[in-house]
Amino acid sequence: MTKKRVGILCGGQSVEHEVSLQSAKNIVEAIDKQKYEVVLIAIDKQGGWHLNNTSDFLINTNFPSLSSLNKSNTSNIVLVFSASKRLSLYQTFIKCSKKKLLLLDIIFPILHGPLGEDGCIQGLLRLMNIPFVGSDILGSAINMDKDCTKRLLRDAGIKVTPWVCITKTERPYINVEELVDRFGLPLFIKPVNQGSSIGVSKVDTIEMFNTSLELAFSFDSKIIIEKNIQGREIECAILGNAFPQASPCGEIIAKDAFYSYKTKYINPDDVQLVIPAVINDAVSQKIRSVAIKAFRILECTGMARVDIFLTETGDIIVNEVNTLPGFTDVSMYPKLWQVAGISYRDLITRLLELAEEYHQHKYNIRTSI
């Protein structure tokens, strides 16, 4: 059997660069080597693209200590578009400085954060006409923008956390007292276009407000201020294209004030992951149904992790939808599917298959009248 060549794209110009490297490490180790040949492509924080050796691309591999990219044994690369291969094979080229050409069949972009899961890299790959794992341009852009996500879900009748969106130019006109009267304390302040709880603050007092605003605006030009929801934090993984499936539900129980970046990746012992979540079948099914509905409304394909609050009164409130969830040792997305009986290796295979399926269905279209 001829192996397909998979380009694993990792790193990136975001504060989630290190998390992406760890996700890539896990994928490289778990991918089915009988079916796939791996080509590791890393983007450094300055935007440079590197062809990496899969065995030593990390300087530090002791996760959760954050690793950095090893560029000592890499080749700079450029992408070369090949029109002759475009329609028949859905392939593209990578050309390295040694003049070696590598033909790729599919890309697994495990780039977290801005420029990685916001539609930017998806647009590039779409122009190159190569299949890639995860949501397309529109779905990626929608879900990266928390304000846009909430508006679409709300208008479709799905409950979301009450919020207000504020741009940096509007900051001088913020009325703190009015917002506290509206949402109460504590409340949350978040950058709109970040993941992994980066730049997020739980504001317990009015005195914390300006410092939290400063932090959020340091990561984005647009922020949201949200009402604090008293409820259990439930996560559900979605897998599929036109007919997506939902995993069993998992629950996050954090010892900290909230499920922060530090808790997720630096001190994972400060959080308990309960998989499957201890909830009755009827509630579990309802959550999974809401998660699938959100997946479809938000133009997701391939995979997503839907984060939900379950209140004491039984309300199901969608918090966020992540189209490129982490694949690290502590990440919920692969763990949820493992409980469902899908191994890490089989999950990667299925995602690659879904990417090719979507590409062939969506982009086998006429370009002439």
From 16, 18, 117, 235, active-site residue: 16
Cis peptide, bond prior to residue 109, ω within 30 of zero: no
Task: Please tell me the distance from the alpha carbon of residue 123 to that of residue 37, in angstroms, as a whole number.
Answer: 24
Q: Is 68 a catalytic residue?
A: no
Q: What are the tokens at 172? A: 């001088």
281 annotated as ligand-binding: no
* Annotated binding residue 189: yes
* 322 annotated binding-site participant: yes
| CA neighbor of 291 nearest in space, from 158, 189, 107 | 158
The token pair that represents 108 in the structure block: 């697994």
Of 119, 60, 109, 76, which is closest to residue 299 (Cα–Cα)? 119
To the question of whether residue 3 is assigned a binding role by annotation, the answer is no
Pick the closest to residue 344 from 16, 23, 117 (CA basis). 23
Q: Which is catalytic among the residues 20, 67, 135, 196? A: 196
Q: Is 171 annotated as a binding residue?
A: no
CB atoms within 10 A of CB 327: 25
Residue 46, annotated ligand binder? Answer: no
Verify whether residue 221 is a known catalytic residue. no
- Known active-site residue 235: no
Q: Are 51 and 18 in contact (CB under 8 A)?
A: no
Extract the tokens encoding 276: 């499957």
Asked whether residue 231 is marked as a ligand-binding residue, the answer is: yes
The annotation status of 210 as a binding-site residue, yes or no, is no
Whether 320 has a binding-site annotation, put simply, is yes
140 assigned ligand-binding residue: no
166 annotated binding-site participant: no
Binding positions for ATP: 146, 188-190, 196-197, 226-233, 319-320
Binding positions for Mg(2+): 307, 320, 322
Known catalytic residues are 16, 196, 331
List, as residue ranges, the binding site.
146, 188-190, 196-197, 226-233, 307, 319-320, 322
